[in-house]
Structure 1
Amino acid sequence: MRYVLMHISDLHAGRTFHPHVADQLTREARDLRPDLLIISGDLVQRADFVAQWKAITQYLQQLPEPRLIVPGNHDVPLFHLVERFFRPLDRYRRFISTDLNPVFERPGIVVVGGNSAHGLTIDGGYVSPEQQRTMAQLFVRYPDDVCKIAVLHHGVVRPPGCEKRSIVRNATDVTRMLEQSGVDVLLCGHHHVSYVGVAGSAKRFVVCQSGTSTSRRVRAGERGRNAYSVLTIEDATIHISQRRYVEMSGRFEPLGEYAFQRRGIWLPLHRRDTPQTL
């Protein structure tokens, strides 16, 4: 078994969108030809504006298929209060997908998306009990030897330097659900910082967070540049390659290389990058 997944996030179509970087991302996605392209939310900068949804729809058509997409907090209207509080994902459903729990499955692997975006806060995330049950019920269909990957916009841990940034409000409950579901990897975004670490206690899982892939809203520091990740799933090992955009070369260059042994205790087999807390 061998699958290649490309994980991008926080595209932010609108005034912060970086067309030159986006074009390069498209070229690299087509060259990579992943088995699945994953987008973990924030497709637009402001969900209130239909023009931004039309722009991101046109851009997505350039990217390879199949694609698995989940919404982010920027995909919820900010100014249209009725929509924000009572129909927060109407525009996402109209332009992207009506399925808030998309599933990709192949022999030996399953990827399940979930929704952490809502209209009660501007920045924060929350995975409702119903969403948690739905994700758990989807994962339980697959035996333990299947590689299980979850996708949310908001994460369950704060990367170093992002201590003041929001994660899912009920992170303890969501972490427990992912552990009990036998999840191997959680893919997320939101912080605009590249990060690889682990979460959980009894059954730890890998957290792979993508920086913003095409937005000018990058964070300060080496890991706050435009970025994406490539995951190579094999029978016994998960390899993660972080790529960051380098102005000088005009390409996304390797930032960190990780390998994790599947099942049992989650420890990195090797790591090549600036040290992080794992």
Structure 2
Amino acid sequence: MAFRILHISDVHTGPPFNPAAAERLIADAHTLKPDLVVISGDFVQRADFAAQWRAARILRERLPQPQLVVAGNHDVPLFNLPERLLHPLRRYQQQISPDLNPVFTAPGLAVVGACTAHGWTVDGGKLYPNQMTALRQRLSQFGPDVYKIVVWHHPVALPPTYRRKRVTISNAHEAIRLLDELAVDLLLCGHLHISFVGNTRDFQPDVRHGTYIVQSGTTTSRRGYGPEHGMNTCNLITIEHDGACVQHLRLDQHGDGFRPFAEHWLPRQTVTVTGS
């Protein structure tokens, strides 16, 4: 039986938040009735302001359940330096989710989140050893028959046509190796404000398993990039027994809601790798 995931990202409550896009997202999400809502980070524009957290919390509460959410770099305070360095994700854990390594399971499916946001950089991210350990512990219990999805905020590579000077996870090579070691089928992320589908083999041809990369653009802000400038997008992912269908959804400017504008079929990988 097909399993449907609504993947949204880069909510950015506070300027440049788009309230009309948020309202339409909520309505369309309830119409779509996904089996899981995934939010891959950047709930707020500036984590220093309580009003933005309240708006993000209310938006999350109005979306369908169940949900799996992870933090982004904007969810770390920018101006409060002591909090940024000592307790970078305290507000996120208080207002959105206390769990930085969430897990969702269904028959034949495992979705595991990790946090790449931290207080030592403004824009970049890193997969720290404790996050790697958590991923290993959670994913190693699932056999090759389980479709494995990992969710974090920062990309492991930039799309070929991406021209902005944005950074990937600082240890992207190591992160890709970990995904391959754990035979992860799909990585969901955001950060770049543009939709993208690729594979870790595109960036590290020597990996054995290969993990599909699916990025969501910004779903409710006015900061879409490149061909998605000024646009709001998200992904509807349907997991089948032999692969996944990814539909990029874009908010129609004439009031017809989030509608498909591109579709990709990602066949299930046949090579599995046993972790060391």
2:232 matched to 1:231?
Answer: no
Q: Which residue of structure 2 aligns with residue 98 of structure 1?
A: 98
Note if contact 1:211-1:223 (Cα within 8 Å) is conserved in structure 2: no
State the TM-score, normalizing by the size of structure 2. 0.93
Q: Which residue of structure 2 aligns with residue 36 of structure 1?
A: 36
Q: State the distance in 1 between where 2:176 and 2:136 align.
A: 12
Note if contact 2:210-2:269 (Cα within 8 Å) is conserved in structure 1: no
Q: Which residue of structure 1 aligns with residue 114 of structure 2?
A: 114
Instruction: Return the offset for 1:265.
Output: 6.6
Paired AA for residue 236 in structure 1: D
Instruction: Return the offset for 1:218.
Output: 1.5
Q: State the distance in 1 between where 2:255 and 2:158 align.
A: 30
2:196 matched to 1:190?
Answer: no
Instruction: Return the offset for 1:194.
Output: 0.5
Note if contact 1:104-1:112 (Cα within 8 Å) is conserved in structure 2: yes
Q: State the distance in 2 between where 1:250 and 1:78 align.
A: 37
Q: Which residue of structure 1 aligns with residue 76 of structure 2?
A: 76
Q: Which residue of structure 2 aligns with residue 172 of structure 1?
A: 173
Q: State the distance in 1 between where 2:62 and 2:255 align.
A: 22
Note if contact 1:194-1:223 (Cα within 8 Å) is conserved in structure 2: no
1:86–1:191 distance in 2 versus 1, CA, 3 Å: same
Instruction: Return the offset for 1:224.
Output: 6.8
What's the C-alpha RMSD, in Å, of the aligned pairs?
1.5
SS in structure 1 of the partner of residue 226 of structure 2:
coil
2:265 matched to 1:256?
Answer: no
Note if contact 1:4-1:35 (Cα within 8 Å) is conserved in structure 2: yes
Paired AA for residue 246 in structure 1: D
Note if contact 2:252-2:259 (Cα within 8 Å) is conserved in structure 1: yes
The Cα offsets for residues 253-277 of structure 1, whole Å up to 9 and x where unpaired, read as: 21211111112279xxxxxxxxxxx
Q: Higher mean Cα deviation, 129-138 or 177-186?
A: 129-138
Give identity over the alignment, percent.
45
Q: Structure 1: any 5+ residue segments left out of the alignment?
A: 267-278
Q: 1:246 aligns with which of 239, 252, 257?
A: 252
Note if contact 1:211-1:224 (Cα within 8 Å) is conserved in structure 2: no
Note if contact 2:223-2:229 (Cα within 8 Å) is conserved in structure 1: no
Q: Which residue of structure 2 aligns with residue 207 of structure 1?
A: 213
Counting only pairs closer than 5 Å after superposition, residues 113-192 of structure 1 correspond to structure 2 as: 113-163=113-163, 164-192=165-193
Instruction: Return the offset for 1:203.
Output: 1.1
Q: State the distance in 2 between where 1:65 and 1:222 align.
A: 28
- Structure 1 runs (4+) greater than 3 angstroms displaced: none
Instruction: Return the offset for 1:222.
Output: 4.2
The Cα offsets for residues 45-70 of structure 1, whole Å up to 9 and x where unpaired, read as: 00000111011111111100001000
Q: State the distance in 2 between where 1:190 and 1:51 align.
A: 22
Q: State the distance in 2 between where 1:85 and 1:253 align.
A: 41
Alignment: residue pair count: 266
The Cα offsets for residues 226-246 of structure 1, whole Å up to 9 and x where unpaired, read as: 100011111112111111122
Q: Which residue of structure 2 aligns with residue 21 of structure 1?
A: 21
State the TM-score, normalizing by the size of structure 1. 0.92
Note if contact 2:222-2:230 (Cα within 8 Å) is conserved in structure 1: no
The Cα offsets for residues 132-189 of structure 1, whole Å up to 9 and x where unpaired, read as: 1111111001001100000000011101332522110000000000111110000000
